[in-house]
Amino acid sequence: MNIAVINSGSSSIKFQLFHMPEKKVLAHILVEKIGEFISDTILEYEDKKLVITSVIKNHHDGLEEIISLLSKHEILEDFSSLSAIGHRVVHGGEEFKTSTLIDASVLEKIEALIPLAPLHNPANLEGILVAMKKAPDVPQIAVFDTAFHSHMPQEAYLYALPYELYEEHKIRRYGFHGTSHAFVLKQTAEILQKKSEELNIITLHLGNGSSACAIEGGVSVDTSMGFTPLEGLIMGSRCGDIDSAIVIHLHRELGMSIDEIDKLLNKKSGLIGICKNNDVRTIIELGDEKSQLAIEMMVRRIKKYIGGYMALLGRVDAIVFTGGIGENSAYIREMVLESLACGIELDYAQNKRNATIISTKISSVKLMVVKTDEEQEIANECLSLLKN
């Protein structure tokens, strides 16, 4: 059966077509710069890659373009023949603890969550509505970034703020990147030939956006991103953890508006704030004083989370690296792992090779590199929902 996965952003649609259960990718289409003067569409299938420029006014036109390319290149003749369409939805709030078949009431609830994810949920919703129009008889399934973290205990998800803010305004830790952490957990279990439920692991999704997750018995029990994806690790342009009084100071003493502070923390901080660059590969190559400082700060924060999660979990079977940095940068992994102590031993040669297992045989904790694939996980979720 064919399952499509749609990741709809504010000005882009990422589309992937899978043949399931074989997990074969039949096509990958990226429509970018929707609503701008000229839009780019990149189609990859078999060994081919096509780049098309055209005017794509909105998400509806974007999906029309995708459907027409699939048919023109004989990848998928009839869009309505799909067995399911899986949608990435960033915020599922407290409502959605699992992937869900979309109906009118689900749409309403996703819309009601917009205040918690004003940048993401409207775009996700737009993608769903357009796909529903184009394929009204195909089951549409929402897969939420927050769902994997929805079983965290209260002591992990509550902030030490007045309890009413949680009760009345739902201010709490939600966590994000859940689809990636869940996928990496399953892959790790497969590699270690264990059941997910048997594993205590720490997953580190390190990319332009980064998060750490403490997984106990296959369940996320803590994660570094919080009410929004701003909290936690130092990221490409996001500050991660800071003293929240800085926000008050920026407003009161420096006269910055809320919008300016929002931009400062989300777009101008993190690595870019320290060394004016958010690309870890380039920062490592540059290697000047500020670049080194930025990397050292980022690594220090990762170590602090690993230490904290080890203390929380007690027994840790594996520390697993994923995401653009986690999967590719032996340099960063070495910096993170070399002085962790507690009998954790890095195999430097295996690490340099980006091998799957990068710990020595006698290491007390397995150190691993696992490639993430959020689209694949969404297709997997669709398949298991269709089966039930």
Query: What is the distance between the alpha carbons of residues 89 and 336, in angstroms, rounded to a whole number?
Result: 31
Amino acid identity, position 271: L
Kind and range of the H or E run holding 130: helix 121-134
Closest contact distance (angstroms) between CB of 13 and ligand AMP is 18
Q: Which residue stretch of 49-57, 147-155, 196-204, 274-282 sits at the interface with ligand AMP (rule: CB under 6 A)? A: 274-282
Q: Which is nearer to ligand AMP, 5 or 294 (CB)?
A: 294
- Binding letters toward ligand AMP, positions 228-247, x by CB under 6 A: --------x-----------
3-42 residues in contact with ligand AMP (CB under 6 A) are: none
Catalytic residue among 47, 78, 137, 145: 145
26, burial (CB in 10 Å: exposed 0-12, middle 13-18, buried 19+): middle
Tell me: does residue 207 bind ligand AMP (CB under 6 A): yes
Closest contact distance (angstroms) between CB of 238 and ligand AMP is 12
Question: 354: phi > 0 → left, psi -120 to 50 → alpha, else beta; which?
Answer: left
For the chain, the C-alpha Rg in angstroms (whole number) is 21
Q: Which of 280, 298, 299, 378 binds ligand AMP (CB under 6 A)?
A: 280
Q: Which is nearer to ligand AMP, 208 or 292 (CB)?
A: 208
With tokens 């929902």, the residue in question is 385
How many residues in the chain?
388
Q: Which of 32, 279, 334, 338 binds ligand AMP (CB under 6 A)?
A: 279
314-333 residues in contact with ligand AMP (CB under 6 A) are: 323-325, 328-329
For the record, the structure tokens of 293 come out as 């400082």
Query: What is the distance between the alpha carbons of residues 333 and 324, in angstroms, rounded to a whole number?
Result: 12
Which residues, including other chains, have CB under 8 Å from residue 123's CB and lie 6 or more apart?
Answer: 8, 9, 10, 59
- Binding letters toward ligand AMP, positions 101-130, x by CB under 6 A: ------------------------------
Active-site residue flag, 145: yes
Catalytic residues: 145
- The residue ranges that bind ligand AMP (CB under 6 A) are 207-208, 236, 279-281, 284, 323-325, 328-329
